Amino acid sequence: MSSTQSLLVRTGCILMIAAAGMRAAFTALFEVDKLGLGPHWTLAWSTGYIAFIVAYALALRARRGERERTVLLVVQSLSALYLVWLYPNFLITALLVVVSWQIAWSTTLRRAVAAVLAQSIALTLMKCVDQADGMSLLVLVSTCGFELFAVSAAHLARSEASARESLAKANAELRATHAMLAENTRMAERLRISRDLHDVLGHNLTSLAVHLDVASRTAQGDGVKHVRCARTIAGTLLDQVRGVVSQIRVQPVDLRATLLSLTEGLPGLRVNLRLPDDLTALDPARADAILRCVQELITNTLRHAHAQELAIEIRQAANGALSIAASDDGRGGEAVEGHGLSGMRERFEALGGSVSIAGEPGRGFSVHAQIPALGAVS
């Protein structure tokens, strides 16, 4: 859901919780004796109500699918049923609707419907209101209807949010791939231009220089001076072309701009990227390895980690050796290498480097990789 939709849902839940509390407060002040609720009813109901509010507040901060959230939802459900048992009233049953929405948002539709049925069975075993049995049946049916409506609405919102998240992740991966493709295309184009300059201009200038050299040896009179001057100019042009070709081939990859473009606009993930100032001075092979590594880290975090933040730090030693350290705040678990991580390891090892991956449940994943300085590995 969007932030506005989420705010509206939370506001509605808070209003229903507040309405139940206000109704119970009115009863505690004016109707306890009339309804025969007993001298300790206010304390008992307040205890259950506070337990419900605390569990609801904590559940808002817990992540979807975590065991902690499941426990908090169970506490809310039991607290709501306890409050209905203490004070059978239609407004109090609204707390079960709040719980049903949260359950549907946190788990599958089948489990949410099962939870609603369990709550309905519990309501069936007790009177829903302090009136006739016919009214209890009406409240039971109404409450079940509201719960199922909340489950349906939450499931629809969750499906929409999931689809939007999947689309955003796919778009982020496409943007990352586009950035790398653009950089590769730029390098390929520069290489093509350098080859054309070398093969076409270099060849023709070499031929021209040879012919002018021969002409300078056979020329006579005033023409000798001009031919030798042209031979010198041709040689100078050949040297300049070779210098331009060499510069085009060895110009470093604009790695910083490409890496920054990979980390922008990621859905639900904040990337803290720290780079050295001279990172652009890299050869194409090591620059490509760094780009592929960062792309794989971001892709894996988006797909599997359920993380909110990914920290990536790239360091460059004085001798040119590179190291990458990355960690996320996701769910963690056993580190299993798929095709992407295996490819990253192979790419680093081909350059004489190494990759280590570690994961621990509840503490996210961490990756450490290093590439030796250019020329350090034969």
CA triple 79-81-85, angle to 5 deg: 115
pLDDT recorded at residue 20: 92
pLDDT score of 1: 60
For the domain covering 252-378, report its CATH number. 3.30.565.10
What is the rounded distance in angstroms from the CA atom of residue 316 to the CA atom of residue 253?
15
Per-residue H/E/C for 280-342: CCCCHHHHHHHHHHHHHHHHHHHHHHCCCEEEEEEEECCCCCEEEEEEECCCCCCCCCCHHHH
Give pLDDT, residue 97. 92
Q: 335 exposed, middle or buried (CB, 10 Å; 0-12, 13-18, 19+)? A: middle
- Which residue from 331, 296, 325, 300 is spatially nearest to 311, judged by alpha carbons? 325
Task: Note the pLDDT of residue 378.
Answer: 44
Per-residue pLDDT of the chain (378 residues; tens, 9 = 90+): 666 778 888 889 999 999 999 998 888 888 777 767 777 888 998 999 999 999 999 988 876 556 788 899 999 999 999 998 888 888 888 999 999 999 998 888 899 999 999 998 888 887 655 555 567 778 788 888 999 999 999 888 888 877 877 777 677 667 767 766 776 777 777 777 777 777 777 777 777 777 777 777 776 666 777 777 777 777 787 777 777 766 665 555 567 777 887 777 777 788 898 988 777 556 777 877 888 888 888 888 877 777 888 999 999 888 888 899 999 988 777 777 777 778 888 888 888 899 988 887 777 888 999 998 875 554
Residues 6+ apart with CB under 8 A from 169: 267, 302, 303
Residue type, position 203, single letter: H
pTM of the model: 0.60
CATH 3.30.565.10 domain span(s) along the chain: 252-378
> 85 vs 6, 67, 72, 93, 98, CA distance in Å?
30, 27, 20, 10, 17
